[in-house]
Each structure stands twice: as C-alpha cells, then as structure tokens.
Amino acid sequence: MSNSCKKPSCEKAYITTPIYYVNDIAHIGHAYTTIIADTLARYSRMAGMETFFLTGTDEHGQKIEEAAKKRGESTQAYADKISATFKDLWDDFDISYDKFIRTTDEDHMKGVQKAFSTMHANGDIYKDTYKGHYCISCETFFPSIQLVDDEFCPECGKSTTIVEEESYFFKLSAYEDKLLAWYNDTPDCILPRSKKNEVIRFVEGGLTDLSITRTSFDWGVKLPADMNDPKHVMYVWLDALMNYVTALGYGGDEENMDFWPARVQLIGKDILRFHAIYWPAFLMSLGLPLPKHIAAHGWWTRDGEKMSKSKGNVVNPKEVADAYGLDNFRYFMLREVPFGGDGDFSQKALIDRINSDLGNDLGNLLNRVIGMSGKYFEGKVESSNVAKYYQAELDEVHASLDKLEPLLYEMQIHRYLEELWRPLTVANKAIDMYQPWTLMKEGREEEAMALNGLISAILAKVSIMLSPVMPAICKKISTALCFEINNDTWKSMVKDTTLLAPFTLEKIDPLFPRIEEPLLTQIEPVDVKVAPKKDSKKEESTEGIALIGIDQFFQTSLKVGTVVKAEEVPKSKKLLLLQVDVGEAEPRQVVAGIKEWYSAEEMLNTQVCVVANLKPAKLMGMVSQGMLLAAKDEDGLCMIRPEKPKTAGTPIG
RNA sequence: GGGUCGGUAGCUCAGUUGGUUAGAGCACUCGGCUCAUAACCGAGUGGUCCGGAGUUCGAGUCUCCGCCGACCCA
C-alpha cells in the first residue's frame, strides 16, 4: 500500500466506491462509479497525496442466502464466486484500488461488532419489536397503505409477508439536528447540490429510528458476544456502511485509520439516503469525523432507454472496453455526462467522442508534430526558444491548466475534460497561424523548431492532466515525448511552466484510428445465468413471474383493431406509423417498432391486438396512443392477431 | 398528495452577485492550408432562453401562477 509518505504534513486522500452487492454481476453503472473513483485516486497520487482507494463487495443478507440455496451452493461459495467476478473485472480494467474489501472478511465483521458495541455503550441502540409487511426481494418493510391489494410489494409486485420480530434500533431520530447542522455548515458535503436539498428536506420532515438487526435469517454479522443475543444478525446497511472504516482497520489494528475521514465517497444516486443520513449519523454515534464529500452520480441509459434485463439492453462494460479500448471508454463516460445527471450510452455518441475529441484534436496533433519534426529536423525537438516566440500561447495554455484542479474537486469531470481540450486548440491554431512550412522556406528554422517545442510541451502537459482518465494512452504519449508522468513532472510542467528537455520524436502508430462503423453489431446483455437478479433495488422483480389477480389483468384494456393507414417513419429503422381503428370516433395513432419485420403495405388493412389504455408516449416526436401485441424470439417478431376477423374495438379477454 | 432538480441553437450542455449585440462543443454550409488520422484553421447558418403575469432604468438570471420532464417521499 501507499506508505511512502509518513510526514504529518502530507495530505491524505481516501476515496471509496460503494461495495457492490453480489446479487448481480458488474454492469456499466458499477464500472462508471469505479472508473470515476479510479480517476480521482490516480489524480491524488499524481498530485503527491498519500492515497487510499477502496472498493469491494457487499455479501450479506437474506437475498444472497436464498440465491445460494436455489443453486444448491453454500452461501459462502456463492458469494466467493460473484465477488470474484467484480474483482476480476477491476483487475482487467486496471483499477488502481488499494484494498478490495468483502463484508464476509473476518476483520470487517469484527469491526462491525465493535461499532455496534460502541453505539450501544453510547446509548444509541435499544431493543424493541418491529412489525410490518416485509418484501424479501426488496429487503424492505412497507406500511400497509402502500401495498397493492393489501398484500403485494409496491416496488416489485411480489407477495409480502407480515413480519413481527424483535429488533435492535438505532436512535436515528436523535441525530436530526446534528445532521442538519452538518449539511448547513459544509456546503459541498453532498454533491451535486441539487441532491443535497432533497436530503435536507427529507431530514427536516423528521427521522424515525432505524431497525438495525434481523432474526429472520442467519447470513450476516452476529451481534457482539457480550450482547448475549445470538439470534440477531446485523441488518444490511449497518454492516455495509461500516466497511468504509473497517477497511482502514477500525475495530482492529487501526493501521490506516489516519486516512479517515474520506475525501470523496462515490455512490449512485439510489443509495444517497443511506450515505447522506444513516452513515453520518452512525459516524457521529461512533465519535468519528464525517466524510468531506459524498458524491452521487446518475444512471446510464442505453440509446435513450432505461437499461433493464427484461429489455435485454444492458451494456456490458467489458464488451465495450474490449471493442473500443478501455481508455476510450473511460474518456467517453467521464466526458459525456455532467456529474449527477443521467447519461446515455450509444455507440454513435461513443464513436463521435473517439473520432472527434480523441482522434482529430489529440491524436492528430501528435501526428502533426511527429510529421513536422521528422520532415524538418530528423525528429529532433528542442525547446529553448519556445518562450521567445510563443509566450502568448504558453500563457493561454497555463491559464487553462490552472482552472483544472478545482473542477475535479467539485466533481465537474466533464468540465475538467472540456477545459483540458483548450490547450489542444491553442496548439492546432498555432500551427496554422505560424505555418512552419513557410518558416522553413524562409529559413526561419529557429522559429519552426520552437514551434515544435511548443506543440510537444502542450501535448506533454495535457497528457499529464489526462493521465488519470486515460492512463495507458497517456503513457504512450509520454513515451513518445521521452518524459515520464509522475509527481515531479506534474509539479514542473503543470503547476510550473517547465518545457520538455531536448529529445528525438519517433514515428508511432496513430493513437486513435478513425472508427467508421459501430464495432459491436449488437451489445449482448451481461450473462444472466450467473446471477439472474436485477441490479437496483427498484427493479428486482423479474426473477420468476409475479402472480397477479384477475382484476389486475383486467386493468389492461385490450381491443381488436384494424389498421386503416400505415406509413414508414422516415429516418427510423424500427418504426412504423399506424392509424388503428379500435371502434372509437377517430382511429388511434400508434407508433410501432416493427419495421424490421413488417412493411407498411403488409400491415395495411390487417387486424391487430391493441393495448388501449396505455399512457400515450412520444416516439421520435410522434405521439403513440397504444401498443400492439407481438411476440419476438431469436427468429424475429410476429404480430398477435385475431384468428378470424372481428369488429374493430372488440374487447379481448 | 408533499418535496427536489431541470426545461437555453438540430443535438449535448455553459451562462458567476440581474448589466452592452445570450456562449461552447458536435452537426451543417462556404472559404483557407498541406505538417497531420477526409484530419486542422477561419467565416457563416441557426435561439419567442417552456408559457404567462409581476418587481426593476434593465430579467435567461429575482417573485408568483401554470405546462412538461426526471427523481425522492407518503
């Protein structure tokens, strides 16, 4: 680990990702969180901070216990297997974590018990009874008014059970004022700001005490032995959240506790409440300082649609990285999305970023200077006269570089990258303005040589600041320019204005070959055989099919319809625009994604089954007032139609 | 039902405490250049800043009322 710097003055940076729940294998959301954290960690190290970067897996809970049982495996073996898929992916992605923690680690479990004892000793834990409708799948209690038909989970639709159990409670209610004071006193404690307001309002609305143990399952951390209450295990959030300090040795050797408090704790916006409310309350109870920043990022959609396994449009990060390059994928994710907002993944957007930003602006610039130095100076680059001729350009470059660091600390990584591109524009402009080919003709070799020095220096400075985002590519650039990216060059070339020592520039292959066509014909969903469960708590509904009552079925209005008009939607591969008579005064406009299998002519005057009470939706700007029933398998799609002609509007049931 | 955040160019977004003619990138059109990956540079097209009312000498920015969208909670 990073123990090189023991001076008390040395700044420390502890950066964490959430620990990922082992009910799923890694998807683009996991990769996004981890890559942001990795970028911050790499920057911290480069900037000379002693850095500790933590990631890991969350492995306890009833759901894991049951998933393992279903597969006939031991719970531990199952957890081992899924945990390893995360670790392997991060290793594959060259994620620079310092520790990979698992909640099944002995040290972690001891630390959680220590925390429980401490909170208990401080009077923040008491025993009571918990009663409610419990959804096993969502691991959540719901008040009865929220249930669907008095029984079913409002989140996933599965049956809930009434659970009355003895539980230990954490006095969350006692921390309301202290939490509000924290939000108030530390402006950037929760990023982005918009999310912070949400949290504040929630806390102002009043907090209820938190049930932190369960007796209904075993797969979890037991209470401390001296509590003498062996049927209880810790509830998942106490167990999981504590990982951030047990990883540093809390409750054990305390070896790395001087890294606490964390500089940045990255999370997805779904788990903001746990991290912005429960977690700081736990820390206050333990007498530990609070993290500097909790940063919540948004979701990724795919071609504008929510990703979900049932749609089969989940992006597999490994597949994308393999096809387009890991560094390119990292750049895309960090450049494309304003932090906190949702991002959309599409191959077109990815290709545009690679060709335009990376290829045209950055890669081509390196080729330009390689070409010029090769043609005019046999590859030699010498920088002694750069300031003499190009001080204005240097000033402009450093003005941009100076703006970068704060943007990173504010988690404005997309702005960071945007600003980082300005020096490249300065370089490209300078070549055009000073025209080295003209300089050479006029015998002004000193100026031409200095220009190459300027361009090389700009590339070097940019590659240093880009290296946390694109480590492998920047290593290639620095190798070509004969320097190393490290704390020394960061200080001299970015913080200070040093240029490159004389060197010889060899020709290298283009860093970003132009991409003309999508490289993935179809992005396969992640392998669902390993873990058939959904990623976010919200969507954990598709394992098995929830049973519904007949009344729920009849909430859907299905009708026979006749297609009275059909045309193709221009510029769309998939969509047909249909007018369907469903027995109403006017035909319904329905936009159907069936063009790949049915032409407009084929659809005209045929009968279809229409979902008639669907909320209208807009597709490519056109309102669709219904949906056609169809069946799709690997051989394609076919419409579901009445066997014999029926009057338009005939109900189906 | 309550709350939070958005709505600015064809697309993605920036617009600091209200202050000249509302910006950037991509895309598009035209021109220039040849060191370079059909790359680069310049110019240009393109905006009722969601709508309405108000405060003000002055509103994209502040207030109120709507509409639309995303999310959180009950």
Question: A612: which DSSP letter?
Answer: T
Closest nucleotide C1' to the C-alpha of A509: B37
pLDDT band for position A55 (cuts 50, 70, 90): very high
Which residue's CA shows the smallest distance to C1' of B32?
A432
CA A314, CA A300: separation in Å to the nearest integer? 10
Could you give the ipTM of this predicted complex? 0.92
Average pLDDT over residues A7-35: 86
Comparing A133-147, A195-209, A235-249, the range with the smallest average pLDDT is A133-147
Residue A618 contacts strand B, CB under 7 A: no
The pLDDT of residue A422 is: 93
- Per residue in A423-438, pLDDT tens? 999 999 999 999 999 9
Handedness of CA A314, A318, A323, A324 (dihedral sign): positive
Question: Is any atom of nucleic acid chain B found less than 7 Å from the CB of residue A616?
Answer: no
- In this structure, chain A runs to a length of 653
Nucleotides of chain B touched by protein CB (<7 A): 3-6, 12-14, 24-27, 32-42, 70-74
Burial category of A602 from C-beta neighbours within 10 Å (exposed 0-12, middle 13-18, buried 19 and up): middle
Q: How far is the CA of A343 from the C1' of B9 (A)?
A: 21
pTM exceeds 0.90: no
In angstroms, the CA A560 to CA A552 distance is 20
Rounded, the Å distance between the CA of A20 and C1' of B66 is 43
Does residue A206 reach within 7 angstroms of strand B, measured from its CB?
A: no
Side-chain-side CA neighbours of residue A466 (13 Å): 31
Residues 62-81 of A with CB under 7 A from strand B: none
What pLDDT score was predicted for residue A523? Answer: 47
Are residues A131 and A513 in contact, defined by beta-carbon separation less than 8 angstroms? no
pLDDT at A372: 96
3-state SS of A320-358 is: HHHHHCHHHHHHHHHHHCCCCCCEEECHHHHHHHHHHHH
- Is the distance between the Cβ of A420 and the closest atom of strand B smaller than 7 Å? no
Q: Which residues from the 95-154 window of protein chain A have CB within 7 angstroms of nucleic acid chain B?
A: 143, 146
H or E stretch covering A235 = none
CB of A435 lies under 7 Å from some atom of strand B:
yes
Residue at minimal CA–C1' distance from B13? A338
* Residue A301 Cβ < 7 Å to strand B: no
Q: How far is CA A318 from the centre of its chain?
A: 14
A432 touches strand B (CB under 7 A): yes
Q: Supply the pLDDT for residue A625.
A: 73
What is the nearest nucleotide to A306, using C1' and CA? B70
Q: Which of residues 231-290 of A touch strand B (CB under 7 A)?
A: 269-270, 273
Cα distances (angstroms) measured from residue A484 to each of A63, A172, A372, A400, A501? 48, 50, 23, 22, 12
Cα A457 from Cα A562, distance rounded (Å):
69
Confidence (pLDDT) at A138? 63
pLDDT in tens, A498-553: 999 999 999 999 999 999 888 886 543 333 222 222 222 222 222 223 334 444 44
pLDDT tens per residue across span A382-398:
999 999 999 999 999 99
A513 touches strand B (CB under 7 A): yes
> Which residues 10 to 49 of A reach strand B, CB within 7 A?
none
Residue owning tokens 């799923």: A24
User: For strand B, is any atom closer than 7 Å to the CB of A423?
Assistant: no
Q: Dihedrals φ, ψ of A650, to 5°?
A: -60, 125
The model's pLDDT over A426-480, given as tens digits with 9 standing for 90+, comes to 999 999 999 999 999 999 999 999 999 999 999 999 999 999 999 999 999 999 9
Q: pLDDT category, A583, cuts 50, 70, 90?
A: confident
Q: From the CA of A38, how many Å to the C1' of B3? A: 34
A265 — pLDDT class (breaks 50, 70, 90) = very high
Q: Which residue has the higher pLDDT, A126 or A25?
A: A126
Q: Which residues contact A213 (CB under 8 A, 6 or more apart)?
A: A167, A168, A223, A232, A233, A234, A235
pLDDT band at A80 (very low <50, low <70, confident <90, very high): very high
Of residues A415 and A475, the one with the higher pLDDT is A475
Q: Which two tokens stand for residue A100?
A: 């990979």
Residue A147: pLDDT over 70: no
User: Which residue lies nearest B74, CA-to-C1' measured?
Assistant: A146
Mean pLDDT of chain A: 85
The yes-or-no verdict on residue A5 having pLDDT over 50 is no
For residue A140, pLDDT over 70 is answered with: no
A445-484 burial, b at 16+ Cβ within 10 Å, e below that, comes to eebbbbbbbbbbbbbbbbbbbbbbbbbebbebbbebbbbe
Q: Which nucleotide is nearest to A365 (CA to C1')?
A: B36
Q: Which residues contact A417 (CB under 8 A, 6 or more apart)?
A: A331, A334, A335, A466, A469
